[in-house]
């Protein structure tokens, strides 16, 4: 009986965790897709749209797996289109409007370097399905990272205008980085089972990596002690922007349930 | 003059060559704009190499390519069809040799 209870707790926790990392990719993918037709040059328009497609593909795999774990017959589309804002677990950073190109790149860089460590660790998960999805995401994020790092160098160490726009973007985004590596209490059981990695151990590596790149790009990072960090994303606390994003993302599926094309 | 300004806002032009399998030829796929070699490689990957098998990519600044002109057609390309042994098709390739 206690083993049944234990397995149920692991599944509940894994379901919640999959929503967290699946929603990250879904919301970021949606934001990136807004660049389609608006990129600074044709080639970059295609690059951003490709990354958006990778994100949405990853979200689809993770949410599909979440639906299977939940055992209530919900598909990845049900989870994407028929949940309310408070049920979304994505990082607040990812739902913020795209801003200018520098802001989009700064956010992408912060998330790509986070994803690089997260998916790398998750691909060693004791859960085979999760490990397999994560190794595909890892392969993709290695490329995404290469793309965003090059732009951080170009903009940061570019013209006066590109530098000041990129610096302003990092200044605005930094308060959202505090929860990237926080471990939720209801995920501790997954940590014990080695289904998810202990990200608090990865945070110094992440910090070292972005500090090195930003310093080469002549971008300053705010000292941690001076700053308020936003928290609560994983519990469904969001900025005012998520509701607007969802209303656009979900309207078709909600107006025409089961629509196919 | 407006056209000149528009032209200046574009990044440099690069030519993209894709190799589909190891040992195969790099064939011209098209061109793109980029500010440096790394951006050209990344753009080539995104624009030309996301569908279908690609083993290797070359990018070359378009200005580095020297081309013949239509006037060169006669002196450059009039073939010596009378000497068939000058054409590679004259020779048989041994079995087992691939990607020639």
pLDDT in tens, A67-101: 999 999 999 999 999 999 999 999 999 999 999 99
Across chain A, which has 261 residues, the per-10-residue mean pLDDT values are 86 97 98 95 94 98 98 96 97 98 98 97 97 98 97 96 97 93 93 94 93 97 79 95 97 90 73
Which residue in chain A has the smallest CA separation from B46?
A47
Quote the pLDDT of residue B1. Answer: 41
In a domain, B100, yes or no: no
A150–B46 C-beta distance less than 8 A? no
Q: Give me the DSSP letters along A21-43.
A: HHHHHHHHHHHHHTTTTT-SSHH
Q: B27 and chain A: CB distance < 8 Å anywhere? A: no
B34–A43 C-beta distance less than 8 A? yes
The total number of structural domains that make up chain B = 1
Q: What CATH architecture applies to the domain A3-255?
A: Up-down Bundle (1.20)
- CB < 8 Å to A53, chain B: none
B34–A154 C-beta distance less than 8 A? no
| Partner residue facing B50 (CB), from A41, A42, A50 | A50
CATH number at residue B28: 3.10.20.520
pTM of the model: 0.88
- Residue B47 belongs to domain spanning: 2-68
Which residue ranges make up each domain of chain A? 3-255
- Mean pLDDT on B51-62: 93
- CB < 8 Å to A47, chain B: 42-43, 46
* Banded pLDDT at B7 (limits 50, 70, 90): low
In a domain, B97, yes or no: no
Alpha-carbon gap: A118 to the closest alpha carbon of chain B (Å): 24
In a domain, B75, yes or no: no
Do the beta carbons of residue B42 and residue B52 sit within 8 Å? no
Quote the pLDDT of residue B89. Answer: 81
């Amino acid at each position: 009986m206690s083993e049944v209870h234990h397995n149920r707790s692991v599944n509940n926790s894994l379901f919640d965790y999959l929503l967290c990392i699946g929603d990250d990719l879904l919301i970021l993918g949606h934001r990136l897709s807004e660049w389609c037709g608006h990129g600074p040059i044709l080639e970059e328009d295609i690059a951003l749209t490709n990354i958006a497609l990778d994100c949405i593909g990853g979200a689809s795999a993770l949410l599909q797996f979440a639906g299977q774990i939940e055992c209530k017959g919900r598909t990845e589309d049900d989870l994407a289109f028929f949940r309310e804002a408070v049920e979304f677990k994505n990082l607040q950073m990812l739902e913020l409007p795209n801003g200018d190109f520098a802001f989009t790149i700064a956010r992408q860089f912060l998330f790509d370097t986070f994803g690089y460590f997260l998916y790398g660790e998750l691909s060693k998960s004791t859960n085979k399905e999760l490990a397999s999805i994560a190794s595909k995401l890892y392969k993709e994020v290695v490329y995404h990272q290469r793309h965003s790092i090059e732009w951080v160098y170009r903009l940061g160490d570019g013209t006066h205008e590109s530098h000041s726009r990129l610096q302003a973007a990092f200044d605005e985004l930094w308060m959202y980085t505090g929860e990237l590596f926080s471990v939720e209490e209801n995920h501790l059981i997954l940590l014990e089972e080695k289904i998810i990695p202990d990200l608090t151990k990865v945070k110094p590596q992440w910090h070292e990596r972005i500090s090195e790149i930003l310093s080469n790009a002549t971008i300053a990072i705010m000292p941690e002690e001076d700053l308020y960090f936003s928290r609560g994303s994983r519990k469904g606390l969001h900025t005012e922007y998520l509701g607007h994003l969802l209303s656009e993302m979900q309207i078709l599926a909600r107006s025409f349930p089961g629509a196919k094309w | 003059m407006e056209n000149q300004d528009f032209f200046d806002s574009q990044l440099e032009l690069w030519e993209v060559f894709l190799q589909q399998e190891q040992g195969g030829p790099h064939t011209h796929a098209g061109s793109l704009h980029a500010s440096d070699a790394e951006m050209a490689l990344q753009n080539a990957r995104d624009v030309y190499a996301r569908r279908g098998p690609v083993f290797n990519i070359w990018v070359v600044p378009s200005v580095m390519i020297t081309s013949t002109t239509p006037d060169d057609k006669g002196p450059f390309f009039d073939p010596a069809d009378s000497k068939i042994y000058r054409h590679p098709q004259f020779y048989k390739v041994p079995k087992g040799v691939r990607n020639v």
